[in-house]
Amino acid sequence: MKKNILKITAMIASVAMFASCTDLDIFPENTSSSEVVFSTFEGTKDALAKVYAAYTLTGNSGPGGKTDLPIPGIDEGSNADFVRTFFNHQEMPTDEAHCLWNDAGVPELNFINFTTDGQFTLGLYYRLIMQIMYANEFIRNADESLNAEVATFKAEARFIRAFDYWAMMDVFGNPPFITESDVLGSLPEQISRADLFQYIESELKELGDNGLLKAPRTNEYGRADQAAAWALLARLYLNAEVYTGTARWADAATYSKKVIDAGYSLKPNYADLFLADNNLNNPEIILPIAYDGKNTRTNGGTTFLINCTFNGDYQNTYADLLIHSGIYDNASWSGYRTREQFTQKFGTDDRRYMLVGENPALGADPSTYTNGLMTYKYRNIQSGSTPGNVINSASGDRAFADTDFPLFRLAEQYLIYAEAAARGGGSTAEAVGYVNQLRSRAGVSNITEGQMTANFILDERARELYWECHRRTDLIRYGLLTGGGYLWEWKGGVQEGRAVDTHYNLYPIPASDVNANTNLTQNPGY
């Protein structure tokens, strides 16, 4: 699968674009009509590959060229990729990550001072819209009479669309909304967060509970199945009170438990989850975004996650721990560090503590690369590598990663169940067992039922899931991203940290779309 579905062999034709983007020339040109692409089963599967590949690639001639998002203000290398832009929005405004660079768009994310024309926000917004459009076009045109498997393809496209709408709802709150049933070229209406929650919930329950997707662990690697739908439902319900005003802890426990009982298990070595061969013998990953150094070249994705933190001198100084980043050309960008308050959540015996550096604090100058710690969580080497025997990635590419990004994995579902239980939605005894499985793998002591509070789970999520694009959402759920209840260095743009206004719990809808579509109302405070 890793060398299969993500190799693009056809471009979706006649892609339906959101009419609020008034200049359709900014979108990629289509070389085939939808009638041609969807006239055969092979062409339909190629079109599904394009829907998936929109998560992995930024254009049609990697690592840069024929971009999917030729929009003013969006640079294909830095802010047109899904994982890179989502990471920047989910991690940079929090205690988990800080960017040392001062490029346009970076300071407002570092210091929680978001703007309506931020380049990274433009990139994430239009990337999600484009992925929704690709899914809509596929659902609209795929012909189930060609082959019975096309019905499964359409269910997968619906799942991808539901995930994209979840991300839009989480980040932007009240986005424009359009499906395959809407008239092409019409201005999309704005949907409220609560209504979008209901739509996503309905889609995922139909896809997962009614068997439209394949059974757990029966689809090709890298493609969605029922467990992916249940995993996203569990994540949706965990944050339901933020999205709708009504908590759904019991539902979060129910759907995380469905995933837990679906036959997955923890990978024995935590570090192996984030290496170049994490597509092999990995019973923990439910759904990845797959990368291949030869066929999916991008300066985003895990190539970014590896390069953005590594720097050359650390490769030598800490060689016994790092072993190697596994990227040799265009390597070691030395741009991102963790913040001290996050670092302090670990004991040094925790195997998940994959951090090195000279000074845990960012200090008075947060642009100095020796301030803050570097994480080597993501690497482009294979498991079994040692400092004296580095096993490079399977593709052998020296500049782009084979490492897959775990979009959903079992450990998250353990922690969703645990938090739901701590808040009254599940069995505390069962939850403690799940948490202690994670802690046993990490080499740290077990906890008791009395220790398993919601606040403990928040810290355990930080230790287990850091740099996997969860932290902003987690802090908002606990009421800690904004306000002054939890301060970290350089929160709000001052070294000691300060309270920030609650309107920053949502990002602004880009001004370019608000100005183009009279149906859209900007989020409060912008």
Taking residue 386's Cβ as centre, other Cβ atoms within 10 Å add up to: 10
Question: Mean pLDDT, to the nearest integer, of 95-100?
Answer: 98
Token code pair at residue 2: 């890793």
Residues 165, 378: Cα–Cα separation, whole Å: 27
Q: Are 30 and 13 in contact (CB under 8 A)?
A: yes
DSSP letter string, 302-329: HHHHHHTT--HHHHHHTHHHH---S--S
- What are the residues whose beta carbons fall under 8 Å from the beta carbon of 51, sequence distance 6 or more? 12, 131, 134, 135, 138, 156, 157, 160
C-alpha torsion sign, points 202, 83, 59, 515: positive
In the prediction, which pLDDT does 35 show?
84
Q: What percent of the chain lies above the pLDDT cut of 70?
A: 94
In Å, what is the CA distance from 98 to each residue of 107, 477, 490?
A: 10, 21, 9
What is the pTM for the complete model shown?
A: 0.95
Cβ-based burial of 33 (10 A; exposed 0-12, middle 13-18, buried ≥19): exposed
In the prediction, which pLDDT does 12 show?
32
Place of tokens 């009982």: 261
Q: What percent of the chain lies above the pLDDT cut of 90?
A: 88
Q: Is 419 helix (H, G, I), strand (E, B) or coil?
A: helix
In the prediction, which pLDDT does 60 show?
80
Beta strands in 277-371 (DSSP E): 285-289, 336-337, 355-356
What percent of the chain is helix, strand and coil (3-state, nearest 5)?
Answer: 40, 5, 50
Query: Over the stretch 218-229, which tens digit does the pLDDT of each residue have?
Result: 999 999 999 999
Which residues are registered as beta bridge partners of 389?
Answer: 386
Binning pLDDT at 50, 70 and 90, where does residue 343 land?
A: very high
Residues 317, 320: Cα–Cα separation, whole Å: 8
Taking residue 190's Cβ as centre, other Cβ atoms within 10 Å add up to: 19
Question: Mean pLDDT, to the nearest integer, of 331-360?
Answer: 96
In the prediction, which pLDDT does 331 show?
95
Q: How many CA atoms lie within 13 A of 463 on its CB side?
A: 24
In the prediction, which pLDDT does 44 show?
96
In the prediction, which pLDDT does 19 show?
37
Which residues are registered as beta bridge partners of 392?
Answer: 381
Mean of per-residue pLDDT scores for the chain: 93
Nearest Cα to Cα of residue 307 among 332, 284, 330, 279 = 332
Binning pLDDT at 50, 70 and 90, where does residue 4 land?
A: low
Binning pLDDT at 50, 70 and 90, where does residue 327 land?
A: very high
Cβ-based burial of 516 (10 A; exposed 0-12, middle 13-18, buried ≥19): middle
Residues 277, 256: Cα–Cα separation, whole Å: 26
Query: Over the stretch 281-309, which tens digit does the pLDDT of each residue have?
Result: 999 999 999 999 999 999 999 999 999 99
Instruction: Give residue 87's identity as a one-letter amino acid code.
Output: F
Query: Over the stretch 120-157, which tens digit does the pLDDT of each residue have?
Result: 999 999 999 999 999 999 999 999 999 999 999 999 99
Question: Mean pLDDT, to the nearest integer, of 64-76?
Answer: 86
Q: Are 378 and 306 in contact (CB under 8 A)?
A: yes
Q: Residue 25: is its pLDDT beyond 50?
A: no
In the prediction, which pLDDT does 66 show?
81
Burial code (b: 16+ CB inside 10 Å, e: under 16) for 110-138 equals bbbebbbebbbbbbbbbbbbbbbbbbbbb
Residues 520, 518: Cα–Cα separation, whole Å: 5
Residues 518, 480: Cα–Cα separation, whole Å: 33
- What are the residues whose beta carbons fall under 8 Å from the beta carbon of 260, sequence distance 6 or more? 410, 413, 414, 417, 434
In the prediction, which pLDDT does 34 show?
82
Token code pair at residue 21: 């983007």
- What are the residues whose beta carbons fall under 8 Å from the beta carbon of 68, sequence distance 6 or more? 27, 28, 54, 57, 58, 59, 60, 80, 127, 130
